[in-house]
């Protein structure tokens, strides 16, 4: 073999050794691969907004991909944070962000979805389309665009009119006074009074008064009662209204109380629930049922009987009417009074 031939084969061997060395030690340059399905979900698009978050998603072709991946944003500034993310079959580490570039390091990322998150920046100063270029030694290429707009927020306003509804009326004995009550007016007929008992609503089929209130008044509402006569009056005489704890047998007296049993006050269970009614003195004695006769006296001036401290949905209160007589009360078939209830909201 002549010297020229030897030199030729020596050169070929040297190139082969270098190629093998490059392959063995990972020095071969990565083949470029174009990402698809690229998007960036930003927290704001408005111009010059600072601290805007980015969440980039793209689809990689067959890999694996190793090394840095860079995202360069035209017109953006002040990138910060520690970019990180996920990829199919591998990991993403070593993120940095500065100026208008976010960088992460890929390790064996394969075909599938790749995400880059956890970095922020300042949006461009002018509205328009802004190009983002993908690069880095991992060999992934591609580009996409993000928008910047003069203003990305639209205000929404609304108003709610003040509202209040009120129902009050006679309701049959034993019937539940609750948030569904809607009747108004009527008469509570106490019948023939006796010295041997206190006559009461919900006893012997005597009606009670049910009251129901719904309001959106922020400071609540109050229900008042005013008596036409301040007592039970007839052409023969009067039965005085008084506050008694309790009204005693064989004693002349007449008055009201707001029920003290669990089902006597409350509100509708629908949303919004609101606040519970509060019984008001002198109509709030501890014992006010068909069989317990603590009462408050009524007057010809309006008196608060129950209230709510804020907005409430169908708040209700059962009101008992009670009366008794002594042996000296003049006989008459026409003892009567008229009670006027008024609901007033504070908006």
Q: Which of 103, 123, 148 is the last residue of a domain?
A: 148
For residue 38, what are the domain limits? Answer: 33-148
For residue 120, is it within any domain? yes
Q: Are residues 296 and 195 in the same domain?
A: yes
pLDDT tens, per residue, the chain with 347 residues: 554 444 444 444 343 333 333 333 333 444 579 999 999 999 999 999 999 999 999 999 998 999 999 999 999 999 999 999 999 999 999 899 999 999 999 999 999 999 999 999 999 999 999 999 999 999 999 999 999 999 999 999 999 999 999 999 999 999 999 999 999 999 999 999 999 999 999 999 999 999 999 999 999 999 999 999 999 999 999 999 999 999 999 999 999 999 999 999 998 877 677 889 999 999 999 999 999 999 999 999 999 999 999 999 999 999 999 999 999 999 999 999 999 999 999 99
For residue 7, is it within any domain? no
Specify the CATH number for the domain of residue 314.
2.60.40
Taking the CB of residue 319, how many other CB atoms lie within 10 A of it? 27
Q: Are residues 317 and 180 in the same domain?
A: yes
Q: What gap in Å lies between CA 19 and CA 3, rounded to an integer? A: 25
Q: Are residues 41 and 124 in the same domain?
A: yes
Q: Are residues 309 and 177 in the same domain?
A: yes
Q: What gap in Å lies between CA 112 and CA 47, rounded to an integer? A: 33
For residue 20, is it within any domain? no
Q: Are residues 100 and 221 in the same domain?
A: no
Q: Are residues 322 and 195 in the same domain?
A: yes
For residue 116, is it within any domain? yes
Structural domain tally of the chain? 2
Q: What single string gives the DSSP state of each residue in 157-204? A: -------EEEEEEEE-TT----TT----B------S--TTS-EETTST
For residue 24, is it within any domain? no
Q: Are residues 118 and 188 in the same domain?
A: no
Q: What gap in Å lies between CA 243 and CA 237, rounded to an integer? A: 20
For residue 157, is it within any domain? no
Q: Are residues 213 and 133 in the same domain?
A: no
Specify the CATH number for the domain of residue 110.
2.60.40.10
Q: Are residues 191 and 336 in the same domain?
A: yes
Q: Are residues 189 and 135 in the same domain?
A: no
Q: Which of 148, 179, 213 is the last residue of a domain?
A: 148
For residue 334, is it within any domain? yes
Q: Are residues 179 and 308 in the same domain?
A: yes
Q: Are 177 and 267 in contact (CB under 8 A)?
A: no
């Amino acid at each position: 073999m002549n010297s020229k031939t030897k030199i030729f084969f020596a050169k070929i061997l040297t190139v082969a050794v270098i190629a093998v060395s490059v392959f063995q030690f990972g020095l071969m340059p990565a083949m470029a691969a174009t990402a698809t399905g690229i998007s960036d979900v930003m927290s704001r698009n408005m111009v010059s907004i600072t601290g805007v978050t980015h969440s980039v998603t793209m689809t990689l072709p067959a890999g694996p991909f190793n090394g840095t991946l860079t995202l360069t944003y035209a017109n953006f500034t002040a990138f910060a944070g520690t970019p990180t993310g996920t990829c199919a079959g591998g990991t993403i580490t070593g993120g940095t962000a500065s100026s208008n570039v976010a960088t992460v390091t890929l390790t064996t990322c394969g075909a599938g979805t790749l995400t880059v998150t956890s970095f922020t920046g300042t949006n461009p100063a002018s509205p328009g389309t802004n190009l983002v270029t993908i690069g880095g030694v991992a060999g992934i290429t591609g580009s996409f665009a993000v928008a910047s707009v003069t203003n990305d927020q639209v205000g929404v306003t609304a108003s709610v009119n003040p509202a209040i509804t009120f129902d009050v009326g006679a309701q049959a004995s034993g019937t539940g006074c609750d948030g569904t009550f809607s009747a108004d007016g009527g008469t509570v007929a106490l019948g023939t009074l006796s010295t041997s008992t206190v006559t009461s609503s919900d006893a012997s089929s005597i009606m009670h008064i049910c009251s129901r209130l719904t309001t959106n008044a922020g400071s609540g509402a109050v229900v008042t009662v005013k008596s036409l006569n301040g007592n039970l009056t007839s052409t023969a005489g009067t039965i005085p209204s008084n506050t008694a704890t309790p009204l005693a047998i064989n004693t002349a007296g007449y008055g009201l109380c707001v029920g003290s049993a669990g089902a006597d006050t409350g509100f509708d269970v629908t949303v919004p629930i609101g606040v519970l009614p509060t019984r008001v003195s002198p109509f709030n004695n501890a014992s006010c049922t068909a069989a317990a006769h603590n009462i408050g006296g009524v007057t010809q001036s309006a008196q608060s009987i129950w209230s709510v401290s804020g907005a409430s949905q169908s708040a209700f209160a059962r009101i008992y009417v009670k009366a008794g007589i002594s042996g000296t009360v003049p006989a008459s078939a026409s003892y009567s009074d008229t009670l006027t209830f008024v609901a007033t909201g504070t908006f």
